[in-house]
Amino acid sequence: MEKSVQTAIILISESSLPIARNISRELAESAIYLKGEAEGCETITSYSGFMKEHFSDFKAIVFIGALGICVRSIASCIRNKYADPAVINVDSTGRFVISVLSGHIGGGNELTRIVAGITGGEAIVTTQSDNQQLWALDTFTSRYGWKTSATPASMNQAIFQFVNKHKTALLLSVKDKGTDELEQSCPEHTDIYYRLEEIPLAEYQLLITVGPWEYDAPIPTLQFYPPVLHIGVGCKKECSPQGVCIYMKDELLRHHLSPLAVKSISTIELKKDEPLIAELHTQFSNSELHIYKAEELADISVPNPSEKVKEVTGVDGVAESSAIRASDYGRLLMEKQKGILSEGNNFTFAVALSADSDRNNGHIEIVGAGPGDPELISVRGKRMLEKADLILYAGSLVPRELTYYAKPGATVRSSADMTLEEQFTLMKSFYDKGLFVVRLHTGDPCIYGAIAEQMAFFDQYGMRYHITPGISSFQAAAAALKSQFTIPEEVQSIILTRGEGRTPMPEKEKLHLLARSQSTMCIYLSAAIVEQVQEELLQAYSPETPVAACYKLTWKEEKIYRGKLKDLAQIVRDNHLTLTTLLVVGNAIDHREGLSRLYADEFKHLFRP
């Protein structure tokens, strides 16, 4: 058996070999095993014997045949859901795909759905949480990268209460992609809180927590710890590491912080070879190690500066500054702690919370709205709008219908009549309250989105932001024109540009120079100067070159006018096209001649019945 094989496909009858081959093609690192000989299959002598020898060698096992044979073959091999591979069973026709073993932790339920998609069959999952569309609590660690101190028994107790819909409180003290997902999919019997003191615990039968803090609650509690803590360390030269890690973990617990939530160990370059740093990196399993140069820490203000440390290292405090730097300038949860477990072995450490996980911090999401149709915003963009406390959208460039995704109570404002200063003031007022702001731009915000000046402002004030890309109007134009903007061996480039109006163009990017490439050109923001645009393009393109003037792509008011380059200005003027018009020029428009290499003669056998 090859070591690279991750999924074993056990074929009971050779008549189902086509199904097995289809599954194997779709599942990477898989192999087919059969009692007999067939091309592309590994021969085995006994199903149960093969399982006894190799059961633990695979991440997943797919039986194709009778369910009884599957069960009898694996029965003696089963240990527990934390160690067993995923096992699924497919009937000989591919009509039914059944999750048999390790449905959650082993991924059997997910594999069942994948294989059912391959065979066109029905996925049969009997796990109660899946059937009731409830969270699989025992997958949170693998799914979200969290840790838990729960024992198998306490995990099972929590799962029993949760799937039986006992009233549950969910405490989300930090935020990340996992908590975002939980907020979006919260079941009816679960209430979300962000502070423990807000929870009337007597009203609940189960508490689930997500965060670095340890809680002692009077009801059954299941705690998950995302990696959000950053430990900064300073020490004397050749400081003995003996006992320090245990001491630090005890101090974390004394401050009600879990060692399982530690993401990184950090220090200054001067201390990078200290035995203590290496030991801590090892003992805090899966932790990152950050070593910073003195200049990277020098400007960080710390609450407990030391003149002596400054003299030796050039920074006000190694532990606090490196913790703050590693957390991306998050807040300190533990200021500098001094320790000395044996004479001459002084050390300090501090703990900071990842800034992007801190619910006390505001956040700005710059979202690309897409070309206009509310259904063409990305799934992430829609989700950002749904959680926003403030939506500031780009006036007449973005259909107001996109803001209808806003949650009740959200503030929705147009920036059309605002100065930049007014926009910044409004966003910062929400940000400073720890609220979530969406700055909604048309298309993709990185293409003529005027976001650079906004990001400069955010950077200046240390405001955290992220960009969610959107579908640009040039992509919507290709779809609306039913055109592939690249032609094999003829046009392999798409130029996104604009004509020279009030905003000067760099000399090397003049339209007539770009037009020499004969690429497909998508020209933004230029309907008002269309005569100039046409004149420049005609210096390189043929007058008969296809063009399209695309007005408000994907909006209800969408209009598309096709023609020849020689008539472009007339098309725009006769139809009174102004803002939100994209001009497309090039032979790729409506091109249908020629074949890509995929359709050349040597590949035609792939498409023959």
Pair of tokens at residue 41: 């299959």
Which tokens sit at 166?
């006992």
Cβ atoms within 10 Å, residue 318 = 30
- The predicted model gives 473-486 an average pLDDT of 94
CATH number for 229-353: choose from 3.10.20.740, 3.10.20.30, 3.30.420.180, 2.40.10.120. 3.30.420.180
Q: Output the pLDDT for position 271.
A: 94
pLDDT of residue 602: 56
Position 378 pLDDT exceeds 70: yes
Q: Name the band, by pLDDT with cuts 50, 70 and 90, for residue 344.
A: confident
| pLDDT, mean of residues 114-127 | 93
Cα four-point dihedral sign 324, 330, 335, 339: negative
- Asked if 40 and 66 count as a contact pair (C-beta separation under 8 A), the reply is no
Domain 474-585 fold: 3.30.950
Domain made up of 363-471: CATH architecture: 3-Layer(aba) Sandwich (3.40)
**Does 178 score more than 60 pLDDT?**
yes
DSSP code of residue 85? P
Confidence of residue 260 (pLDDT cuts 50, 70, 90): very high
pLDDT category of residue 202 using cuts at 50, 70 and 90:
very high
pLDDT reading at 168 higher than 90: yes
pLDDT the model gives residue 134: 86
The CATH class that applies to domain 137-225 reads alpha beta
pLDDT the model gives residue 110? 92
Look at residue 492 and tell me whether its pLDDT is greater than 90. Answer: yes
* Residue 105's pLDDT band (cuts 50, 70, 90): confident
Name the nearest CA neighbour of 489 among 606, 583, 588: 588
Give the pLDDT score at 395: 85
Share of residues in the chain with pLDDT > 70 (%):
97
The tens digit of pLDDT for each residue in 493-524 reads 999 999 998 888 899 999 999 999 999 999 99
And the tokens for 149?
């101190």
What amino acid occupies position 446?
C
pLDDT of residue 408: 93
Helix axes 108-119, 17-26, angle to 10 degrees: 120
Alpha-carbon gap, residue 349 to 442, rounded angstroms: 47
User: Does 597 score more than 70 pLDDT?
Assistant: no
Cα separation, 460 vs 437, in Å, equals: 17
What confidence score (pLDDT) does residue 427 get?
Answer: 96
Domain ranges of the chain: 7-126, 137-225, 229-353, 363-471, 474-585
Q: Could you give the CA distance from residue 483 to residue 493 in angstroms, rounded to a whole number?
A: 14
For the segment 267-290, what is each residue's pLDDT rounded down to a tens digit?
A: 999 999 999 999 999 999 999 999
Mean pLDDT computed over every residue of the chain: 92
Q: Is 7 helix (H, G, I), strand (E, B) or coil?
A: strand
- In angstroms, the Cα distances linking 226 to 61, 175, 185, 229, 480 are 31, 9, 19, 9, 44
Query: The pTM is what?
Result: 0.76
Res 449: pLDDT: 80
pLDDT tops 60 at residue 595: no
Among 454, 418, 456, smallest CA distance to 438 is for 454
Residue 100 has pLDDT above 60, yes or no: yes
- pLDDT attached to residue 133: 77
- Stretch 74-78: mean pLDDT, rounded? 94
Centroid of chain to Cα 389 = 21
Among 66, 69, 74, 71, which residue's Cα sits nearest to residue 96?
Answer: 66
CB-facing half-sphere around the CA of 564: CA atoms within 13 A: 7
Report residue 2's pLDDT band, with 50, 70 and 90 as the boundaries: low
Q: For domain 7-126, give the fold.
A: Rossmann fold (3.40.50)
| 387 pLDDT above the threshold of 50 | yes
**Residue 596 pLDDT grade (very low, low, confident, very high; cuts 50, 70, 90):** low
Residue 609's pLDDT band (cuts 50, 70, 90): very low
Handedness of CA 535, 541, 543, 544 (dihedral sign): negative
Q: Which pLDDT does position 3 carry in this prediction?
A: 57
